[in-house]
Structure 1
């Protein structure tokens, strides 16, 4: 059942990274500026991240299966709206609708793992789920590039919509779960008060501050700027850039299970590791800001792909930092911050690219320098804002 749920997450991964391959043909078809391209890619994540709290409430009340079956069809609708859009506004609406449809895709996997697997296996199983779900990244590499070259970018979205239909049918047929214990209507005010309690805890600000930028850095590379970088700076073909995207995606599949198994277990040691790996990623992006030989640039991008697997430790950090009664809410808030951060970074890097033209700075120098800065900023927030008093313990009532 977990594998079938991961199929929905894999399609979510495909949709959120399609812009990296779609960017060149969309720029030609609609004359998009870098800022518009960043907003197009970010629209998915604004919608996806903004609904995480409500998806968490839906899962608690209606269960994993009912929630994903009810919402995921909007993914198909959004993909078709994007495929047949004849204006930039239509593209944005399709992306936002797709983001709504994919909103429960990963959260249902994390909740399913938390409920069905023992706590000591959480990091490794969650890492495996992230790795398997990254198969969706492979779809938006060379295969999507082939489809676009043969039949155009609109056919690419139609193909993704067809895959989403298959994933929904698989969940319908194979996933089973017990009926929810609570059958009353959801108490929205009570749920919001519960989230308010979580936000009042001192460690929440630092965790959110880091989560805004970590996964966002990888998705901004793989899901938006990789294709334009290789085509504009190094004159790669669309299929050639797709091949690099596939290589990064394969490493993205290997990284989370690897780092899930390397998880140190000790909460404080894990926090130090997370901060150090984030700075390491920042260094890789800072190096990519320079116009290096193509082979070295690709090697750095591949390095980002494998090192980014450490982000699976952030899920274990969230689970260890909050008491058990708050785990569901904490995961929902963390996931919301993570994907709103993707939208924010893609929009801000679009602004950086537009500003670079005015300042006569090379576009990708500005983009990757900005990503490196945000990663350092997130690390500082994580390390220097108040941390948890005792990982996993109830906060003192002072």
Structure 2
């Protein structure tokens, strides 16, 4: 099987050709309507993965958590989310995205209930693992749907729009969650998100009808074993290593800031209240909504896109390094918001990955990328938690150590992306 990137044919309506009865149903609903319903699951995933920034203080108070334990709590979701991407990608390619998301999503509801009822730290972590598994296909199904039902030249722009729409989930874990916690408790936050997950599942079950991609005439159906071997072959391609190493640190740098350390930073470094930190979190979330559609529309094409990804990552690392060194409240707020706006450039990774692999393995290629991205989030949150604990033990301001280490990791990932072998689509474009 060839793994080079090929163009995807699209019909005049903008949807990839797949002449099945289910496809006619999906087109009757409209590709945008189906995509937006799938995005509700992604929005919930965004909310669940960023609760730690606002829940950190009450959880530390109730369970007496160390910074390292707090990092483990935040990282458990992302570890489970990332570890399941391989299986979610295979499930999408073999059984369709609708079946895959409907099978996994109930675990999101179960995990929310376990978290809300948790009486110990291990139960709290177990709840996060279940939520991570339930959310695992959330954005992957959106990217595969876009690849199958929208013209190739619109992939970056549509992905950027969906990233922005789905990131509305982060708004919930700003001021609204802070108010809810102060009025009730952190447990109520999980109950509310669990109810929203039920509504999302019902909506997708009722109204999303996405067909399987049309197979070549006479082609045998791919078995599970063949699918796993095909996934493994992605690792044999020389350009995969650079993509994976870069993916480990990009989104992780944003989630480490917004999803874990923002609340503690403002509350412990500057003495802000929980609601004040929540207000900043919601402003950061709003600012971060601007970047993905903006950079998606500015997508310059394969070869310059990779230069943009490298240099914008370096700029992001500079902002994080400044956040480590400067301790004035106004400057910290400005740096946080600047990084949130800049983080939208990460949407360019999606068309980069799509162009690097053949359409037949789009689901698995996106799954590999998403797996690396969220395993990176889990590792970065766990590692920065350990770094913060070590810094405190040695009398060093923990946030300087945390953000300095994130900046260093982002630079290392960008260098790997720039210096390791490039995909054939990029080298061919350069000729």
Class of the TM-score when normalised by the shorter of the 2 chains: over 0.9
Deviation at 1:380, TM superposition (A): 1.2
- Equivalences, count: 392
- 2:146 corresponds to 1:113: yes
For structure 1, which segment, 290-299 or 78-87, has the greater mean C-alpha deviation from structure 2 after superposition? 290-299
1:83 aligns with 116
Deviation at 1:323, TM superposition (A): 2.9
2:289 aligns with 253
Alignment of 1:210-289 (within 5 A): 210-265=246-301, 267-289=302-324
1:384 aligns with 419
Deviation at 1:122, TM superposition (A): 0.3
Deviation at 1:57, TM superposition (A): 1.1
Q: TM-score, normalised by structure 1?
A: 0.96
1:342 aligns with 377
Relative to structure 1, the CA distance from residue 307 to residue 147 in structure 2 (aligned partners, 3 Å threshold; closer, same or farther) is: same
Deviation at 1:181, TM superposition (A): 5.8
Please say if residues 56 and 328 of structure 1, whose CA atoms lie closer than 8 Å, have aligned partners that are also in contact: yes
Deviation at 1:100, TM superposition (A): 0.3
Q: TM-score, normalised by structure 2?
A: 0.88
- 2:72 corresponds to 1:39: yes
Please say if residues 67 and 389 of structure 2, whose CA atoms lie closer than 8 Å, have aligned partners that are also in contact: yes
Deviation at 1:64, TM superposition (A): 1.4
Q: Deviations over 1:352-397 (max 9, x none)?
A: 101101221101001000100100110111111122244397xxxx
Cα distance in 2, alignment partners of residues 241 and 33 from structure 1: 20
Please say if residues 57 and 186 of structure 1, whose CA atoms lie closer than 8 Å, have aligned partners that are also in contact: no
1:353 aligns with 388
Relative to structure 1, the CA distance from residue 295 to residue 24 in structure 2 (aligned partners, 3 Å threshold; closer, same or farther) is: same
SS in 2 for 1:91: helix
Cα distance in 2, alignment partners of residues 369 and 65 from structure 1: 41
Cα distance in 2, alignment partners of residues 373 and 45 from structure 1: 21
Cα distance in 1, alignment partners of residues 317 and 138 from structure 2: 28
Give me the CA root mean square deviation.
1.6
Deviation at 1:12, TM superposition (A): 0.3
For structure 1, which segment, 202-211 or 165-174, has the greater mean C-alpha deviation from structure 2 after superposition? 165-174
Structure 1: stretches of 5+ with no match in the other structure: 394-398
Cα distance in 2, alignment partners of residues 318 and 97 from structure 1: 28
1:396 aligns with none
2:335 aligns with 300
1:18 aligns with 51
Cα distance in 1, alignment partners of residues 380 and 125 from structure 2: 17
For structure 1, which segment, 317-326 or 376-385, has the greater mean C-alpha deviation from structure 2 after superposition? 317-326
Deviation at 1:69, TM superposition (A): 1.1
Alignment of 1:122-201 (within 5 A): 122-178=155-211, 187-201=223-237
Deviation at 1:186, TM superposition (A): 6.5
- 2:405 corresponds to 1:370: yes
Cα distance in 2, alignment partners of residues 155 and 293 from structure 1: 34
Deviation at 1:70, TM superposition (A): 1.3
Q: Deviations over 1:149-194 (max 9, x none)?
A: 0001111111111111111111122212236768x98723211211
Relative to structure 1, the CA distance from residue 97 to residue 392 in structure 2 (aligned partners, 3 Å threshold; closer, same or farther) is: farther
Deviation at 1:196, TM superposition (A): 2.0
Please say if residues 93 and 364 of structure 2, whose CA atoms lie closer than 8 Å, have aligned partners that are also in contact: no
Q: Deviations over 1:304-329 (max 9, x none)?
A: 11000000001111112223333222
Which of 98, 103, 110 aligns to 2:131? It is 98
SS in 2 for 1:354: helix
SS in 1 for 2:378: helix
Cα distance in 1, alignment partners of residues 183 and 200 from structure 2: 25
Cα distance in 1, alignment partners of residues 212 and 228 from structure 2: 24
